[in-house]
Structure 1
Amino acid sequence: MRVSSLPLRTALAALALGLAATGCGAADAQESDGSSLTLGYFPNLTHAPALVGVQNGFFTDALGEDVAFDTRIFNSGPDAVNALFSGEVDAAYLGPSPAVNGWAQSEGQALHIVAGAATRGTGLVVREGIDTVDDLRGTTLATPQLGGTQDVALRWFAEEQGWDVDTAGGGDLSIVPQANPETVDSFVLGEIDGAWLPEPHLSRLLAEDDAHLLIDEADLWPRTGGQFVTTHLAVGAEFLDRNPDVVEGLLAGHIASVDQLDEDPEQARRAAVDHLETLTGARLDPATTAAAFDNVTFTVDPVAPSLLAGADRAQAVGLLEPVDLTGIYALDPLNGLLSEDGREQVTGLEG
């Protein structure tokens, strides 16, 4: 698979994969013996299990003192996947499109999805005067990055309307890649007419006077009851193969984070916001925080059917070639932990 309009990005990803395969990746030689684990994640509330787990020490506690725990922050899924390829990180919280892209680029050799993390929490926010879908024609809308999960969602939606869009920002609808933190400023300045965003950026944009939610993405997933994977936890395939015990520790920390988000949301939300402030230097206001969290469901279930549907949508808009996703999930470690605790197990594509 390749993103056809981005030969340079594809080449870089292939180079990173080649470096990792030959032992020349930036961090490949670092600690493949399992004495350390580096986790990647985004400063988004759809990555709250990572935010809470790091802030509250769930990962370090579960991994134990014999495993050095480190983190890396990313603003886009493709960058996080490239870091997995090169060995800069051993595991990462990813959206579905980057995970599928990474699986396809590596021909199923580079990564596995080991748990779900979040569903829902995305949609299209637009300015005043755009009241119907038809009003979107001729507008300029932002997504976090070309080929990312929200980018695919918007392009697929445009395809469903019969509109022509391209990867250079032209067509019936101009779609421009833009880092999430810049989107609110661009919207206020009138440089864009709206954006398809994840939380908390969606709620931040909705807080502007001239903004409203035109499309809640949950409405576009009737076959899964409005549930669709926004974030899941992926691990480098080689790291998983060599260090199953370390991955089990990572998953134990992940489960603890999701449990707190579900069972003690007030404390978990406080931890997530505190950690976001540490990462970004800015603190979300309480109203935005409440709205954002209410829009996301946290779960270890990967909602596998939505991954297949998302891949079909990426193919429909020309950002993904046909790919066999058999084997992308490695859920046995997670299910082992769930079974030990008497919980219901989760399923992948093979049931």
Structure 2
Amino acid sequence: MKRIFLFTAIFFLFTGVLAGCGTSGKTSGSSSDKEKIVIGYFPNINHVPAMVAKDNGYFEEQLGDGTKVEYKTFPDGSSFMTALKTGDIDAGLVGPGPAMNNYMTGADVKIIAGASTGGTVVLASEQSGVKSVNDFTGKSFITPAVGCTHDVQVETFLKEHGIESQRIGGTMKHVTGNPAQYAAMLKSGKVDIAVAPEPWAAVIQQETGAKVLIDHDEVSFGKTLPASVLVASGKSVKENPDRIQSIVDAHKQATEFIAENPEEAKEITIKDIKETTKQELSKEVVDQAWERIGFTYKVDSDAVQAFADSSYELKFLKEKPKFTDLIDTQFID
């Protein structure tokens, strides 16, 4: 128990740390003649392409010697999208939910490639008494944020089974929090059900013995929806298409490396997450999580639209979405 709480405290301290601050512009010191590009991502397995590209120097290779690449990690999609909108990052990986939600409120964001699929798992603690979806009524569940990708997935699934959160008139209490906290919260009884991205679902299973109720391929959109996407600002796409193409090419290299070298990619993942969160995941946890994830730079536009339509029906979006201008596939076609 002490180890879990220590990990949670350290995670909050170190998440978001990066080599420098800021975004495109001239760097200081001896490299003042180089333009700085900042890439954002999360310390979870849906974001492995960014970790692999970082470790192998793919962004540096594609962007050239005149560019200095830095990296910034985020705990959730809201903080990532804020950084993209303010220009603190130039591009990076985020869930489709935050990208769509911000697009609908006027944010200048473009999905320029896919990154991963799957990886959302719904678990219940032993003491919750929840054995199946039939036991969800009146229980509490936690997701990283309101309207995030994982939240929309599970609430779509619940609605299809006649269950709703209190937010839209149902009985289930919804709370939010960092996935690094979930194991402790389930153990303490603060929540009954966790909707967790990998590798945190595998960590929860290992540390708490929680039961998987809805697996990655059973939850709504689990097989088709991009779990993470590569995004940039529309301004960058318009004004710097060559730079965006280089970023996408580096991302494609990383995705292909993962397919060809899964064991080495796992080692990179373990190392990167440890550097960011100070938590060293076991090989067993990563192997288990890896089975629930797929990696691809392609984007299923139909799946994104269907997901968005569900977000609207669940009242996460105020207007019925049309994503004609959100997804730009010119860099991967």
Measured in 1, the distance between the counterparts of 2:208 and 2:279 equals 20
Alignment-derived partner of residue 311 in structure 1: 308
Measured in 1, the distance between the counterparts of 2:136 and 2:216 equals: 16
Amino acid at match of 1:69: V
Q: Deviations over 1:69-97 (max 9, x none)?
A: 11111111122111111111111211111
Residues 166-203 of structure 1, C-alpha deviation per residue, up to 9 Å, x if partnerless? Answer: 349x8411111011111111112221112111110111
AA aligned to 2:70 is D
Q: Which runs of 5+ in 2 are unaligned?
A: 1-20, 27-33
Match of 1:104 in 2: 104
Deviation, 1:291, is 0.5
- 2:91–2:233 contact (8 Å) kept in structure 1: yes
Q: Report SS of the residue matched to 2:37.
A: strand
Amino acid corresponding to residue 333 of structure 1 in structure 2: F
> Which runs of no fewer than 5 residues in structure 1 stay unpaired?
1-25, 336-351
- Measured after TM superposition, the shift of residue 138 of structure 1 is 1.7
Contact 1:91 1:235 in 2 (8 A): yes
State the shift of 1:154 in Å: 2.1
TM-score, normalized by length of structure 1? 0.81
Letter in 2 for 1:180: P
CA RMSD of aligned residues (A): 2.2
Distance apart, 1:323 and its partner CA: 1.8
Give 1:210 deviation, angstroms. Answer: 3.3
Alignment-derived partner of residue 67 in structure 2: 67
In the TM superposition, residue 209 of structure 1 has moved relative to its aligned partner by 4.5
Query: In structure 1, what is the equivalent of residue 9 of structure 2?
Result: none
The structure-2 alpha-carbon separation of the partners of 1:29 and 1:235, relative to structure 1 and needing over 3 Å to count, comes to: closer
1:301-340 equivalences in 2 (<5 Å): 301-320=298-317, 321-335=319-333
Query: Residues 262, 83 of structure 1: CA spacing in aligned structure 2 closer, same or farther, 3 A cutoff?
Result: same
1:83 aligns to 2:86 (yes or no): no
2:140 touches 2:174 (CA, 8 Å); kept in 1?
Answer: yes
Shift of 1:225: 8.9
Measure how far apart 1:30 and its partner are.
Answer: 4.1
TM-score calculated relative to the size of structure 2: 0.86
Higher alpha-carbon deviation: 288-297 or 204-213? 204-213
2:111 alignment counterpart: 113
Q: Quick one: which of 277, 288, 292 aligns to 2:289?
A: 292
Q: Secondary structure at the match of 1:124?
A: strand
Is the Cα–Cα contact under 8 Å of residues 27 and 86 in structure 1 kept in the other structure?
A: no
How far 1:238 moved relative to its partner? 0.8
Alignment partners' CA distance in 2, 1:240 and 1:249: 11
Cα separation, 2, equivalents of 1:164 and 1:213: 20
**What letter is aligned with 2:182?**
T
**What's the counterpart of residue 239 of structure 1?**
236
Q: Is the 8 A contact 2:110 2:231 kept in 1?
A: yes
Checking the alignment, whether the CA contact within 8 Å between 2:121 and 2:215 is kept in structure 1 is yes
How big is the shift at 1:218?
2.0
Tell me which residue corresponds to 1:127.
Answer: 125
SS at 2:280's partner residue? coil
Distance, in Å, in 2 between the alignment partners of 1:186 and 1:89 is: 32
Q: d(CA) in 2 for partners of 1:273 and 1:148?
A: 25
In the other structure, the counterpart of 2:204 is: 205
Query: Residues of 2 paired with 1:137 and 1:113: CA distance?
Result: 36
Q: Is the 8 A contact 2:23 2:89 kept in 1?
A: no
Q: CA deviation at 1:159?
A: 2.3
Q: Secondary structure at the match of 2:214?
A: strand
Aligned equivalents of 1:29, 1:99: Cα separation in 2: 21
The correspondence for 1:264, drawn from 238, 252, 261, is 261
- C-alpha deviations, 1:84-112, integer Å up to 9, x for none? 11111111211111111121111xx6011
**Cα 1:260–1:166 shift into 2, 3 Å:** same
2:257 aligned partner, one-letter code: Q
Distance 2:73 2:99 in 1: 17
CA offsets per residue over residues 262-285 of structure 1, 9 Å max, x none? 011011111111111100111101
Q: Aligned residue for 1:279?
A: 276
158-167 or 49-58, larger mean C-alpha shift: 158-167
- Mapped partners of 1:118, 1:318: distance in 2: 26
Change (3 A) 1:214 1:93: same
* Distance in 2 (alpha carbons) for counterparts of 1:117 and 1:188: 32
Cα distance in 1 for partners of 2:171, 2:253 equals: 46
Work out whether residues 111 and 230 of structure 2, in 8 Å CA contact, stay in contact via their aligned partners in 1. yes
CA distance in 1, matches of 2:310, 2:297: 23
CA distance in 2, matches of 1:187, 1:289: 21
Q: What pairs up with 1:163-178 in 2 under 5 angstroms?
A: 163-167=163-167, 171-178=170-177
